[in-house]
Structure 1
Amino acid sequence: MADTEALEIDALWAEFHNAVNMTSQELAAWLRTSSAGEDTEEPPENSGSDQGRGVLAILRKRQMDLTDADIELMYDVVDEVTAEREAGPRPSVPEPDWRHRLMTLGHDPLRSESA
């Protein structure tokens, strides 16, 4: 890996962990809760969206173990969290839905920026 690539990955790692402000335990619990139905609950490994499960997997990895797919997902999550935060709640996406959408990506907008 070239030094430039390593610096880019370091910067992405920091951006991702800034955007994803939930712990892996919090995200896992949220994914289980959000995918539970009235009569049934998904097995933990199938809870939540593919994207949410991908974020959870990244949170449980060391930086040196990232795959190309992980890196691509990290860029997508950083971009999506940034765009959603800028857009904020709106008539087409009211606050509870907006917050839940962000939490599926591991970002709780009710947390302070410094937490």
Structure 2
Amino acid sequence: MAQAFAVAVNMSAAELIVWLDTDESRRVGWKGADASLRESVGHASGRRIAEILAKSGRDLTEADYALMRKATGFIRRHTAQAPANMLTSRWRYSLMNWGHDPLKRFLTGDREER
């Protein structure tokens, strides 16, 4: 599980924290069936993912592993649904809330996923 999570989540804790502080990050995501939640599920998960990234493996809890599985599944499902405009799409921003920037390797020239 930890290996699949490490492949799926390609943003560092610091990158994710900076991203989550943007207006774009706060505007996307599911906020309940009636849109009444203050924070989207992905944004809240992103905060927890940043905490997980900062932990050592031996400090991970069952709740951490559950979120790691959820994030990995979300990222896998949604990366298969790429829109025509990836750069400024809600699709990309939503994935970034979960710790995955689908354009990271293209924008940074980074050939290796984190």
Q: TM-score, normalised by structure 1?
A: 0.71
Look up the match of 1:15: 4
Alpha-carbon separation, structure 2, partners of 1:17 and 1:76: 13
Look up the match of 2:15: 26
Residue 49 in structure 1 maps to residue 43 in structure 2: yes
Deviation for aligned residue 1:14: 1.1
Query: What letter is aligned with 2:112?
Result: S
> Which consecutive residues of structure 1, in runs of 5 or more, have no partner in the other structure?
1-11, 37-45
Task: Tell whether the 8 Å contact from 2:43 to 2:98 is kept in structure 1 after alignment.
Answer: no
Name the SS for the 1:49 alignment partner: helix
Identical aligned residues as a percent: 37
Look up the match of 2:112: 114
Q: Which has the larger Rg?
A: 1
Name the SS for the 1:57 alignment partner: helix
Residue 102 in structure 1 maps to residue 114 in structure 2: no
Look up the match of 2:67: 73
> Which consecutive residues of structure 2, in runs of 5 or more, have no partner in the other structure?
28-38, 106-110
Deviations 1:41-95 (A, max 9, x none): xxxxx9x8221111111001011111111000000000000000112227xxx64
Query: What letter is aligned with 2:94?
Result: R
Alpha-carbon separation, structure 1, partners of 2:43 and 2:63: 16
Alpha-carbon separation, structure 1, partners of 2:96 and 2:81: 15
In the alignment of these two chains, the number of paired residues is 91
Moved over 3 A (4+): none
How large is the Cα RMSD of the aligned pairs? 2.1
Deviation for aligned residue 1:114: 2.3
